Structure 1
Amino acid sequence: MPELPEVEALTGLLAEDAVGREVERVYPVSFSALKTYDPPVSALEGRTLDAVARHGKFLDLAAGDLHLVFHLARAGWVRWHDTLPDAPPRPGKGPLALRVRLSGGAGFDLTEAGTQKHLAVYLVRDPLEVPGVARLGPDPLSPDFTQEAFAALLGGEKRQIKGFLRDQSVIAGIGNAYSDEILHAARMSPFKPAANLTGEEIARLYAAIGETLGAAVERARGVPLRSLKSEKKSGLRVHGRTGEPCPVCGDTIREVSFSDSSLQYCPTCQTGGKPLADRRLSRLLK
């Protein structure tokens, strides 16, 4: 799933390639991806794209007073084409969800792999009309996201810290992968109750958020679209690396599986050497 660093990179790449071009045609290939109908996506046609912005994991392409906002979900992606085919795309069961043809023959596709379709596209006059954008918490790259502001978010929080970090209404842009990376950098168990963090642990976690996301953004900056996914994977130290040695201490990276996701961690670095209970594995062994 694209998270803040990848969406930040996509924002820069689309700003470079698409801003200043006129929208010639918009093809909604998968109507299930389109979440708004007024104004219709055809209202973009004839307008010039003048800005690209990011709201958490949402991308926002502005054309005057209209905003094409989309969320790539778990398996969505943006594919840029310097030259699009002349023939319009045919609706079908393939990965293509939306095509935007721009002046000069270029354009981009929104695609989504797999059978579960969660990619969401909105055309609105104000990004805050998108429910997911309206609910977003503060952006961790914003200057306003200070350690004091972070500590205030933790006040009265009863959840485990992993779930807290992934909640987009609390902090915008952190998902499953980077929450694993942040907690590893902070030497903190993903199951630690957020309310139990000491002042020193809050400071350590706050620093890990900034350093982890900042480094990922720098790694992704200027990387071609076709290489962004592999670049993300290459930069991860624990997420998706079950069974590999921890790059810090050499212990074996462990996994806890859930119904539709999993987390990875290092026992030595994060849990005092004790493996966390994998509930799915425990059920299989009964």
Structure 2
Amino acid sequence: MPELPEVEALRDFLDDRVTGRTVERVTPVAISVLKTYEPQPSALEGRTVTGVSRHGKFLDLDAGGLHLVVHLARAGWLRWRDSVPAAPPRPGKGPLALRLSLTGPEQGGEGGGFDLTEAGTRKRLAVYCVDDPAQVPGIERLGPDPLADDFTREAFAGLVRGQRHRIKGLLRDQSVIAGVGNAYSDEILHAARLSPFKIASELSEEEVTGLYDALRSTLKDAVERSRGLAAGKLKSEKKTGLRVHGRKGQPCPVCGDVVREVSFSDSSLQYCPTCQTGGKPLADRRMSRLLK
């Protein structure tokens, strides 16, 4: 699933390519992708893109006050096209969900465009056409952005104090902190040397500081690694930059211990026992509700 660093890199990538260009055509291919019905996506056609922004894991393309908001979910992706086929795409069983084509900065210029695709059978890719991004339920409930200038150590401490939730689940809760998902929460906890099962309210002041620093540095480093990369290379960059997530059975790059895994009904987490749990393996509670 694309998380804050990849979505921020996509925002940079798109902003460079679409700002100042005119939306020529918006073609939904999979009806399930559309989560709003008024205004229609066709209302974007003929409008000039004024910028691209990010809200947590949401991409927001602003076309003269009308917004195309995208959440890529677990298996969605954005594929840039320097040249968009003239023939409209046909609905079918392929991964294409929506296509947007652009004209150039000049009248009739070549503008390229992008496809939104989604692999697999569980269709969760979501597209909204709204007058205000706050009309999107997922954006309206977002917590603070962890890379914002006003996201201080004290602001973070205020979010975790008194919380009787495991810190892994709290980091992933979009209403608490926007943009962190399964992969980067594993990376953050490894950098902070904390068990994913640690209860947030039991963190010491020193641990709160360490977790805050790990949160900011892990995300900033990932953003910098992704900055300037083409959209098609972001997935591989994410994988190569991960230290424990997705690396079950491999040596921890810090201490050399074997990275272990806890599996759940629809996801898993990875951690290093030596770095995070005092050398003790965590119980693999497959039916745990930790991540729900």
State TM-score, norm by structure 1.
0.97
> What residue is the counterpart of 1:68 in the other structure?
68
Aligned to 2:91: 91
Query: Could you tell me which residue of structure 2 aligns to residue 244 of structure 1?
Result: 250
Q: Which amino acid in the other structure matches residue 46 of structure 1? A: G
**CA-CA distance at 1:37 after TM superposition:** 0.6
Q: For residues 281 and 51 of structure 1, do their structure 2 counterparts lie closer, same or farther at Cα, with a shift above 3 Å needed?
A: closer
Matched, 1:172 2:178: yes
Within-5 A mapping of 1:90-239: 90-103=90-103, 104-239=110-245
Q: Deviations over 1:26-70 (max 9, x none)?
A: 101011010001000000000011100000000000011100001
Q: What amino acid maps onto 1:7 in structure 2? A: V
Aligned partner letter, 2:157: A
- Could you report, residue by residue, the CA deviation over 1:137-170 in whole angstroms, capped at 9, with x for unpaired residues? 0000001100000000012201000000000000
Moved over 6 A (4+): none
Query: Secondary structure, in 3 states, of the residue corresponding to 2:240?
Result: helix
SS at match of 1:68: strand
- Mapped partners of 1:14, 1:221: distance in 2: 12
Q: Distance in 2 between matches of 1:154 and 1:262?
A: 23
Q: Determine helix, strand or coil for the equivalent of 2:87.
A: coil
Q: Identity across aligned pairs (percent)?
A: 72
Aligned partners of 2:125, 2:147: CA distance in 1, in Å? 24
Q: Does 1:81 align with 2:81?
A: yes
Deviation at 1:85, TM superposition (A): 1.0
Amino acid at match of 1:49: V
The answer to whether structure 1 residue 253 and structure 2 residue 259 are counterparts is yes
Alpha-carbon deviation of 1:180?
0.1
Residue 17 of structure 2 corresponds to: 17
Whether the 8 Å contact between 2:243 and 2:252 is mirrored in structure 1 is: yes
User: What number of residue pairs does the alignment pair up?
Assistant: 282
**1:281 CA displacement:** 9.6
Aligned position for 2:107: none
Describe the SS at the equivalent of 1:170.
coil
8 Å Cα contact 2:81/2:112 also seen in 1: yes
Equivalent position SS for 1:279:
coil
5+ residue gaps, structure 2: 104-109
**2:287 & 2:58 partners in 1: Cα distance?**
35
Deviation at 1:130, TM superposition (A): 0.1
Classify the secondary structure of the residue corresponding to 2:224. Answer: helix
**Cα-to-partner distance string for 1:175-216 (whole Å, 9 max, x where unaligned):** 000000000000000000001000000000000001100000
Separation of aligned partners in 2, 1:108 and 1:180: 31
Q: Is the 8 A contact 2:76 2:116 kept in 1?
A: yes
